[in-house]
Amino acid sequence: MDKNQGRLRRARQTRHKIRELRVNRLTVFRSNTHIYANITDAFGDRVLVSASTVESEVRTQLGGAGQNKNAAAVIGKRIAEKALAAGIDSVAFDRAGYRYHGRVKALAEAAREAGLKF
């Protein structure tokens, strides 16, 4: 089992529980160069809101670097602002099998500070 398969195995139970609860889900994906955040509906069918360091507005704000905690905090704030504008104020946090530290933690804390509840 490689690292990615282990991460997905750890994420499976969380995703199952969130689907049982029927709440919107804030999912985080991090690569070596970027971080992505999506809010999907309660059934996992549609992406309602998304933000990432690939977006041109974010890249100009960050100066091109998207792989650090500052970039993750910007994405957390941005996803929370977009969600509140779309009428979403409460979500379940799906860290996708990643440990809750570093960039994942920075994104979550920034989203909470911007008004998103989870």
Q: What is the CATH number of the domain that holds 93?
A: 3.30.420.100
Q: Which of 5, 2, 8 is nearest to 97 (CA)?
A: 8
How many domains, the chain? 1
| Domain contains 79 | yes
For the chain, 118 residues long, give each residue's pLDDT as a single digit of tens. 899 999 999 999 999 999 999 999 999 999 999 999 999 998 878 999 999 999 999 998 888 676 799 999 999 999 999 999 999 999 999 999 999 999 999 999 999 999 999 8
Q: What span, in angstroms and rounded, lies between the C-alpha atoms of 111 and 11?
A: 20
Tokens 């998304």 belong to which residue?
A: 50
| Domain contains 118 | no
